[in-house]
Amino acid sequence: MNDAGSAAPVGAVAAQAAARVAATIRDEIRATSSYATAKPSGMIELHANENPWPLPAALRAELAAAVAETAVNRYPEGAGDRVREALARALPLPEGAAVVLGNGSDELIQIVTSAIARPGATVLAPDPTFVMYRIYAMLAGVRYVPVPLRADFTLDEEALAAAIARERPALVWLATPNNPTGRALPLASIERILALAPGLVVVDEAYAEFAGTSLLPRALEFPNLVVMRTLSKIGLAGVRLGYAVGQPAWIAEFDKVRSPYNVNALTQAAVPVVLGAAEVLEAQVARIRAERSRLAAALAAMPGVRVTPSDANFLLVRVPDAGAAQARLHAAGILVKNLDGGHPLTSNCLRITVGTPSENDALIRALAST
């Protein structure tokens, strides 16, 4: 007898389960691998576009107190009212804009994609871009049409306009600054795309704080614009909070798609505390921006290395041999993201998050020796 009380040996049950999975789970899901989120300890982590600085001790103590007071035996407030009020205080939200929260902006991508997923609907995005747009389109059973960027990772606006005219997409994703390229889109291009797109355009501003430009204050100016943001890149990746801002008519529909308590009580307790100390995060962002310039200059001075101008907290760097460089960095205790093989435009490219000055120094030393 195994633990489940059946007579079949566990190995045989596992084989039967595999057969049932093959017969039951959708082919496209079985063909995909899960999003890699390994957390190796003791390494210098420059692979996930996080803020390398911890919160100061005083703020952590305030966070601990807020968390301690949270009634975790109760469900959280469903729509996260306290968080939304804190966001409204901390950000230049236009009067009358509606806000929906997500468990990270990843969840908002899933929510928006599910909401537009009529049979035959199309999602369109410049390419390469954030991989989750494609994955959630696949999960929702909608067609995903990537439109290649130019070789220098700028937007091919003519190609995008032609694709919009041809595909009539229900949804266009515009990540600005874009991941993995680090480049922000010109505002005039975004405005032209908003005018051409027949459905919704979500401007994903996950890295906006590092660019210094944002459409957030103008979120109500266009009938088909929703601006999406996250607290992940500015220092709260572990808290998991994303938000989308736009006309109440759009946001009300997304609110119906999200799970009832999608933002947990501990996150809801923590976010107002940290947003109340916005100057701490702003100072960290300023340090990261300064380090970005220093790191970019040091890497660009290395023979055979090309650095794409970045408006984000990471650099896209082409090296002579990305696999060898990644292996050398790994041996030196440094994690970066190798984009080689992921997309033709990013062959031999590494995506390197800007770290602390000493982390960046370690990276520069290790890369210089490759």
- Site residues for ligand PMP per CB under 6 A: 49, 104-106, 130, 175, 179, 204, 206, 230, 232, 237, 242
Closest to ligand PMP by CB, 130 or 210: 130
- For residue 44 the two structure tokens come to 């210098």
Q: How far is the CB of 239 from ligand PMP (least distance, A)?
A: 9
Burial (CB < 10 A; 0-12, 13-18, 19+), residue 61, is: exposed
Closest to ligand PMP by CB, 87 or 366: 87
Closest to ligand PMP by CB, 185 or 362: 185
Closest to ligand PMP by CB, 251 or 362: 251
Distance CA 217, CA 61 (A): 33
Contact 112, 139 (CB under 8 A): no
b/e sequence 308-335, b meaning 16+ C-beta within 10 Å: bebbbbbbbbbbeebeebbeebeebebb
- For residue 101 the two structure tokens come to 């929260």
Contact 200, 251 (CB under 8 A): no
Distance CA 114, CA 319 (A): 38
Q: How many helices (H) and strands (E) does the chain have?
A: 14, 13
Residue type, 231: L
- Using Cβ positions, the residue closest to ligand PMP within the complex turns out to be 104
Closest to ligand PMP by CB, 227 or 362: 227
Q: How far is the CB of 108 from ligand PMP (least distance, A)?
A: 8
Neighbours of 24 (CB within 10 A): 8
Closest to ligand PMP by CB, 179 or 247: 179
Q: How far is the CB of 107 from ligand PMP (least distance, A)?
A: 7
Closest to ligand PMP by CB, 106 or 209: 106
Q: How far is the CB of 175 from ligand PMP (least distance, A)?
A: 4
Neighbours of 147 (CB within 10 A): 21
Measured on CA atoms in the order 273, 275, 280, 285, is the torsion positive or negative? positive
Contact 91, 243 (CB under 8 A): no
Q: 121: which residues sit within 8 A by CB, 6+ positions away? A: 142, 143, 169, 170, 171
Q: How far is the CB of 346 from ligand PMP (least distance, A)?
A: 14
Distance CA 206, CA 316 (A): 16
β-sheet bridge partners, residue 102 = 242
- For residue 123 the two structure tokens come to 């999602």
Q: How far is the CB of 216 from ligand PMP (least distance, A)?
A: 15
Closest to ligand PMP by CB, 186 or 357: 186
Residue type, 345: L
Q: How far is the CB of 335 from ligand PMP (least distance, A)?
A: 15
Q: How far is the CB of 48 from ligand PMP (least distance, A)?
A: 7
